């Protein structure tokens, strides 16, 4: 891992934990093990560093579904994989959903930057998913549905599951951490079943 990546890792951790306004570049430099001047050399401003982090996170989430819909596996196997990958990504960084929603809602400039940077890869991923949905609908196995609506349904279930888990479980307590893990596994399975059953023709 090179210096830029080390700084990004540290920045991602602190931005998710404290938000754009709460995180300080001096803290990020200290966590990354570099001096503040070196951080400034690579990223110039806090805004540039934040945008790189936000783009990195968003791109990672888009890539999960892009990856899931590669190959020749059956449609429902691909969909299950995409839902589970998305859920696992959120549950490993349990503060991530709140961070994304907070920053998008609070900062119009960051929202516009995100939409501009992520739009091309998101459109490609949606086109791939829509093609798979249309193909499956022609067989009569699922009802016709737009890829955007499907993704919103998946995100709604997965994000809410993780947000609720964060609100009700103390991850610093051993018993709470175990209960959280059980709850997340149950929710992941339930979310997969809910989405798949909602698509199947009755």
Tens-digit pLDDT profile for residues 27-59: 999 999 999 999 999 999 998 999 889 888 888
Q: Is 24 helix (H, G, I), strand (E, B) or coil?
A: coil
End-to-end CA distance of the chain: 51
The structural domain count of the chain equals: 2
Do 100 and 157 lie in a common domain? Answer: yes
Do 34 and 82 lie in a common domain? Answer: no
**Dihedral sign for Cα atoms in the order 174, 167, 160, 187:** positive
Quick check: 31 and 25 in contact, CB under 8 A?
no
Do 104 and 26 lie in a common domain? Answer: no
Distance CA 97, CA 163 (A): 7
Do 188 and 153 lie in a common domain? Answer: yes
How high is the pLDDT of residue 171? 67
Do 10 and 38 lie in a common domain? Answer: yes
How high is the pLDDT of residue 178? 84
Do 93 and 153 lie in a common domain? Answer: yes
Domain region containing 3:
1-44
Do 39 and 64 lie in a common domain? Answer: no
Do 81 and 170 lie in a common domain? Answer: yes
Do 74 and 19 lie in a common domain? Answer: no
Return the higher-pLDDT residue of 26 and 70.
26
Residue 173 domain-assigned (yes or no): yes
How high is the pLDDT of residue 124? 86
Instruction: Please tell me the pTM assigned to this model.
Output: 0.86
pLDDT, one tens digit per residue, over 122-136 is 888 889 899 999 999
Do 63 and 111 lie in a common domain? Answer: yes
Quick check: 157 and 163 in contact, CB under 8 A?
no
Do 180 and 109 lie in a common domain? Answer: yes
Residue 50 domain-assigned (yes or no): no
Residue 53 domain-assigned (yes or no): no
Give me the phi and psi of 146, to 5 degrees please.
-80, 140
Q: Which two tokens stand for residue 40?
A: 């400034």
Do 30 and 62 lie in a common domain? Answer: no
């Amino acid at each position: 891992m090179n210096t830029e990546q080390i700084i990004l890792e540290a920045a991602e951790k602190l931005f998710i934990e404290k938000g754009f306004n709460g995180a300080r570049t001096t803290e990020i430099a200290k966590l990354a093990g570099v001096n503040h001047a070196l951080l400034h050399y690579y990223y110039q401003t806090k805004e540039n560093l934040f945008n790189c982090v936000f783009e990195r996170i968003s791109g990672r989430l888009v890539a999960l579904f892009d990856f899931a819909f590669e190959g020749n596996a059956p449609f429902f196997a691909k969909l299950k994989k995409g839902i589970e990958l998305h859920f696992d990504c959120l549950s490993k960084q349990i503060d991530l959903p709140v961070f994304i929603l907070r920053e998008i809602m609070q900062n119009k400039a960051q929202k516009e930057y995100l939409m501009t940077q992520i739009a091309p890869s998101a459109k490609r991923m949606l086109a791939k998913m829509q093609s798979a949905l249309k193909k499956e609908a022609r067989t009569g196995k699922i009802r016709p549905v737009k890829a955007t609506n499907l993704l919103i349904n998946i995100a709604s279930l997965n994000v809410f599951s993780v947000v609720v888990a964060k609100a009700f479980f103390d991850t610093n307590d051993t018993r709470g951490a175990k209960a959280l893990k059980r709850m997340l596994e149950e929710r992941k399975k339930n979310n997969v079943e809910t989405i798949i059953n909602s698509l199947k023709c009755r």
